[in-house]
Structure 1
Amino acid sequence: MSAEAAVILVADHPAALADLTAPLRGRLARAGWSCRADHPFIRAYAPTEGRLAITPAFDGHGLLIGDVFDTEGRPLSMDARCSLGCGVLNVVRANMLIGSVWGRYVLIRRAADGVSILRDPSGALEAMVWRKAGVTVIATAADPVLDPLLPDDLDIDPEGVAALVERPGEFFHSPALRGVNPIAAGELRTMEAGGARSKQIWTPAGAYRAGRATPPPLRETVERAVRAMAGDRSWVAELSGGLDSAIVAAALSDGQRRRVTAWVNHYVDQPEGDERTYARAVGDRLGFSLTEVRRNALLIDEARLARTAEGFRPAVNDLDLTYNDDIADRIDASGAWGSLTGQGGDAVFFQMPTPLIALDEIRERGLRARASVIHRTARWTRRSVWPHAWWSAWRDHRRSRAGWDHPWLTDLRGVPPAKALQISVLAFCQTFQGLAGRSRRGPCFNPLLSQPVMEAGLAWSSVELTRGGRDRAAVRAAFSDVLPSSLIARRSKGELGVFYGEAVSARLDFLRDYLLGGALAEAGLIRPGLDELLVRETLLWRGGFQKVLGLALTEAWLRCWTERLRRRRA
């Protein structure tokens, strides 16, 4: 069960709501769920011990789920929260709201002809919607207790599963389930008895176009977002030794850092996977001690994989099961609200070394393009300055765009190629907002993927974000006076490939049986050659552990949903 699970029911008429929920109340109560909002047309249920704020509108025809802040980072008052759910929720108002508040939220408003749902641009809360018996159902999680509410025509989509097998571990906006419909981050969806209307209110490309003339200051934006989201709660914070988690630590106020119950660094015996030196330096600079956790194995078994599989999508955010379990245990033991991470920073602040940056310089500045940018980009990416190298990079970029699949990527008008690459990576970062073992105990907050920070990173050109031919150069400069110089100057990244290769190799006997004799194989979706990948030497010397783990999570998901659908039909 997710700590932020909830289901909201919006009925065409009160009798439909009563008919649908009457047989469900006992089941929910036995599972530890309670009614969190109860009005004639709207009802909301969530785990009694859950961490999700649910606020009904004053008039009982709207609902706000989650945390919302004003542009200064102040949480909205209860009156302001109740007011958000009032009034018509159309394209004009959705644009106004997205420009004046931000957070981790889903806003729902009933009208005479249906219900409108706005999901915030960060995508921090899932929002899946469908119709059943005169009721619109919106769910933030697919907890099995909600199975009676699932649509009658729910089924597994074989083509969707095939795509998951083709690209295991990647984020897919559309689930491999027919009958439920995902609302994208930044989308306004209106559900009516006769169908649905959709409008993508916020897109990364739109944020780029709107902000590029006057990009906001990076440090001020990051600090405001991190401090707002952390609030006065206690947290388990991840400190990997990399730049992004260090930025989150530095952005917290002194008082907020004191409320962190553990600054956790996971390390392995291989030197390339041991970043404690950098993490300790951050702790010394900011005044806290590190909780160092030595990793020597990866828990992969059928029971643990089964616990990942109840979501609407395979839990690709749970790729490292043991890591997430450790964070979850620390949340429980310390009484923390949840966990804080620096995930997403690579995309927002531009870590990707690509020659496309030089093409952005030419595209954005035209005849004023600086030769120094082209030379530095060529040196950073180890490319020739001759035009053929740049043409080859552009051609590869255009070819890769054919496989992009997310509502954010449908409108890239006026977006130069490196910025388009950044947007595609941000779309993949929706993975980090997904279900994982740690988010079952407490929410996982990723403040670098909040709307203000994403908008800041998008408004800055890729050239300025990487000025001097250096990844994340602008944000390094912004935080250079509060972080250790050794970390600011660091050019390497932690590398856990050998550790994961060995850890997966140690479970090959189980994984061979699990994958080659499982539901994917029975459906004919295991491609020839997988047995060759499931060999220790291959995993250690050629890699592929991510594909194996991604397939294992997909296998677990398919087994889970096959059984859930079988029980519903029995």
Structure 2
Amino acid sequence: MALRYILFHSPDADEREDAARRVGQLCGLTIVPVPGAFSLLVSDESDVLPIPGSGAVIGTIFHRHGPPEAIRDFDQRAADAIRKTGGAHLIERYWGGYLAAFEMPGGACVLRAPMGALPCFRLRQGGLHVFASDPGILVKAGLLAPRIDWDALQRQLFMRDLPSHRTAIVGLSEMLPGTRAILAEGGEGVSQCWSPWDYAATLDVMEPEDSAERLARALQQCISAWGSRYANILLSVSGGLDSSIVATTLADRGRPLSCLTLATSDPSGDERSYARIIAAHCHANLHECGYALDAIDLDRSVVAHLPRPCGRTHELAFRAVVTAKAAELDADAYFTGNGGDNVFYNSASARPIADRYLAEGMGPGLVRTLRDVCAVTGASAWQAMCEARRVLKRRRRGYVWRTDPLFLNRDIVAHESRQPAEHPWLEAPDEAFPGKAGHVAMLLRMQQHLDGYDRGLPFTLVNPLVSQPIVETCLAIPTWAMCNGGINRAVARAAYASRLPPQILERRSKAGPDSFIVELLTSRMGEIRERLLEGRLASQGLLDLDALATCLSESRLHTASDYMRIMALLDTEAWIGHWS
């Protein structure tokens, strides 16, 4: 079961201990003693690692250079280093999915791991600072009476996956990955304690030629470490590169491995032939399932457990199968290859051409990268060069975040367009490559989609490719190396070239549930039209109803951007219903 926790901080011991006792009775959580001005409740005491004399780490943490298994204690020297550095020692020497809470000179510190993995939401109640794993546990504890923040919801729909500390629930905020809160008598402050730009390839610093070997070691270490935590793993496989890397590494554990693949009735969404290849290669049991329309309940949000709408309705069918199969197999963890495209820089962009030009100028290397980009994207050399030139001309403006105005009220689009996209990771240094700015943006876009399952379910979701050492290793690799030879994710392929079947290594195609989405739209068009044109988003004036009504005409052929947006708006309607 996924870890759930509530952490209180207050210098008033009576206030926080009374709150902890009351919450423990309401939620069935266990109180764990923690040094300092903290009171902690958790669903599993074994997920708490004391920091001697200072505080505790909640969650799972591994040593960066130790064996691939979770550590169970800090010695006093490590505890002193954590406290004196304000948590920098944790960032530099360890990695994992954790929240650290400890006393330090000048106040108390609460720090969230750089890649997230363990969520953290926070609120204030009088003198109490409250941190928790999920909003549902806060509601159950009587600490949150949810009300929708319509301005924040509007911003969420427009900014398209840009992480923000602001949620769409009034009074509830998120501690973003790689940030820390300092709580002191004079006030509080939140700052960034990990930045991708400390690891990214720049004009001055680039990864040496052994990048594939370094990435192979990071992948082996991190996937093995996560795998050591669980006895019975269910892994989602598509037969694509990312999930196959996870599968072949987990197979080395010497424990049984169960794999799951889903297929649509249309061949365009059927990857079973590739899934069978990797399952056989790993000697794993493969469970083949299909998408089912009767799994779609338009009243249910796929992200009802989260404080912002970021799901799509068709995902209900996939998650229903995962939940049922995990229960049938008594799986204690569900692993995915999610985030691999983002981490390995699977991009159809001309930015690698711009990056290589900045690094080397005109030369044979630039010509090779031009050919590689054309092979990956299908663009002509002229098209690729023109796009690279455009990237170079706009370099000083920084990365421009792609928003999503589709089907939103035009006045809202105009208003939101005037507000800049803000996140510390978007503030690239002057020497940054434009391709690396795009890579960092891809890392941002995945964050809201990594906590896809309710923490009350009897298994833990693990996305091992989104582990700090893997991400840092990939950030240091120039973008042109990522498409070397005209192959996407080239360095990741090279890293596991000796470990994967040739059919997997050579695969370039991807499948998806598009045909199932079209089937869903076609079969329930009347109900979908009513929900969107007469629903709560419409009544709040958030939608361009004319454009949406035109798109929802049964005679219209939907494009992928249209029907994906419709799935997002449908799930947002269900999310609003859940939290209203």
Normalising by structure 2, we get a TM-score of 0.86
The answer for the alignment partner of 1:567 in structure 2 is none
Alignment of 1:37-116 (within 5 A): 37=33, 41-47=37-43, 53-59=47-53, 61-71=54-64, 72-80=66-74, 89=83, 92-110=85-103, 114-116=107-109
What's the offset of the Cα at 1:451?
0.3
The answer (yes or no) to whether the contact 1:184–1:407 under 8 Å persists in 2 is no
What's the offset of the Cα at 1:340?
0.5
Q: Secondary structure at the match of 2:4?
A: coil
What's the offset of the Cα at 1:537?
4.1
Q: Does 1:526 align with 2:520?
A: no
Residues in 2 aligned to 1:317 and 1:108: alpha-carbon distance in whole angstroms: 34
The answer for the alignment partner of 2:307 in structure 1 is 312
Name which of 228, 241, 244 aligns with 1:243. Answer: 241
The answer for the alignment partner of 2:502 in structure 1 is 485
Name which of 411, 415, 438 aligns with 1:421. Answer: 438
- CA shift digits 1:24-48 (9 cap, x unpaired): 443224xxx333446683222234x
What's the offset of the Cα at 1:468?
1.3
Residues in 2 aligned to 1:310 and 1:428: alpha-carbon distance in whole angstroms: 19
Which range is displaced more, 413-422 or 462-471? 413-422
Change in CA separation of 1:347 and 1:296 when aligned onto 2, cut-off 3 Å: same
Alignment of 1:86-485 (within 5 A): 89=83, 92-110=85-103, 114-143=107-136, 145-146=138-139, 150=143, 156-166=148-158, 172=164, 174-209=166-201, 212-214=206-208, 215=211, 217-231=214-228, 233=230, 234-256=232-254, 258-260=255-257, 262-297=258-293, 299-305=295-301, 308-316=303-311, 320-366=315-361, 369-381=365-377, 382-385=379-382, 387-394=385-392, 401-403=400-402, 404-436=421-453, 440-485=457-502
The answer (yes or no) to whether the contact 1:238–1:245 under 8 Å persists in 2 is yes
- CA shift digits 1:237-296 (9 cap, x unpaired): 01112111011111224335x332x20010112112111111111122222232111224
The answer for the alignment partner of 2:520 in structure 1 is 503
Indicate the RMSD between aligned Cα atoms, in angstroms. Answer: 3.0
Which range is displaced more, 166-175 or 548-557? 166-175
The answer (yes or no) to whether the contact 2:350–2:373 under 8 Å persists in 1 is yes
- CA shift digits 1:34-90 (9 cap, x unpaired): 33446683222234xx6981234333x512111111123433443328986667646
Q: Unmatched 5+ residue regions in structure 2?
A: 403-420
The answer for the alignment partner of 2:562 in structure 1 is 544
Q: Secondary structure at the match of 1:9?
A: strand
Q: Unmatched 5+ residue regions in structure 1?
A: 564-570
The answer (yes or no) to whether the contact 1:239–1:263 under 8 Å persists in 2 is yes
Residues in 2 aligned to 1:269 and 1:437: alpha-carbon distance in whole angstroms: 28
Q: Secondary structure at the match of 2:361?
A: helix
The answer (yes or no) to whether the contact 1:515–1:552 under 8 Å persists in 2 is yes
What's the offset of the Cα at 1:439?
7.3
The answer (yes or no) to whether the contact 2:61–2:71 under 8 Å persists in 1 is no
Residues in 2 aligned to 1:79 and 1:207: alpha-carbon distance in whole angstroms: 28
Residues in 2 aligned to 1:405 and 1:421: alpha-carbon distance in whole angstroms: 15
Taking only the aligned residue pairs, the percentage that are identical comes to: 24
What's the offset of the Cα at 1:543?
5.1
Residues in 2 aligned to 1:437 and 1:535: alpha-carbon distance in whole angstroms: 34
Amino acid of the structure 2 residue aligned with 1:344: G
- CA shift digits 1:540-568 (9 cap, x unpaired): 4565222122112222333333x3xxxxx
Change in CA separation of 1:86 and 1:177 when aligned onto 2, cut-off 3 Å: farther
What's the offset of the Cα at 1:399?
8.5
Q: How many residues align?
A: 550
Residues in 2 aligned to 1:539 and 1:85: alpha-carbon distance in whole angstroms: 61
Change in CA separation of 1:197 and 1:327 when aligned onto 2, cut-off 3 Å: same
The answer (yes or no) to whether the contact 1:309–1:315 under 8 Å persists in 2 is no
Q: Secondary structure at the match of 1:370?
A: helix
Which range is displaced more, 477-486 or 390-399? 390-399
Residues in 1 aligned to 2:429 and 2:260: alpha-carbon distance in whole angstroms: 39
Amino acid of the structure 1 residue aligned with 2:154: A
Residues in 2 aligned to 1:468 and 1:96: alpha-carbon distance in whole angstroms: 39
